[in-house]
Structure 1
Amino acid sequence: MSAEVLGTALDWVLSGSPAAPSPGPSRHALPGPRTLLGSELDERGPRSGLERSHRILARLTQRGDERIELAERANRFRPRTWV
């Protein structure tokens, strides 16, 4: 369920919808928490949560082909990093 929710959150953020507003008073600030299932509401947060969720699912599955597919999904959602 968390993968579904975080996937929808990622779609929402990537669509250009307003993400978490910057801290501090503002008349344009959205009320409520700025996290979802422990992930910040920016592109990196849902990506990290999706990667984590898919890796957990991969560890729990019995079938090898399912495990590989879930690991590949986790890699696709992994936040971009510069090394």
Structure 2
Amino acid sequence: MDARQTIGWNLRRLRVAKGLSQERLALAAEIDRSYVGRVERGAENVTVSTIEALAEVLDVHVSALFQHVDDAAAKPAPLRSGRKPKTG
């Protein structure tokens, strides 16, 4: 797995763990939603500034996006589709 794929894998894993859609993450990081999708697929060469913005929104250190991924690891599960139910 190359560096772009590692960053994308970890980005998706952390985003899903926080319960954020690509759209919400992109909005909070002030980047385009389709760009987040391309990063997660390993199709973008991400700048340090973008990595910092994503890590800040995810409330993790930048190094979390570079965490080694075992090649045999299962792909991170997607979020449940649809809107979240309204509360109170």
Higher relative contact order, chain-length normalized (CA < 8 Å, sep 6+):
2
Instruction: Give TM-score scaled by structure 1 length.
Output: 0.33
**Which structure has the larger Rg over C-alpha atoms?**
1
Instruction: Give TM-score scaled by structure 2 length.
Output: 0.32
Give 1 or 2: higher strand fraction: 1
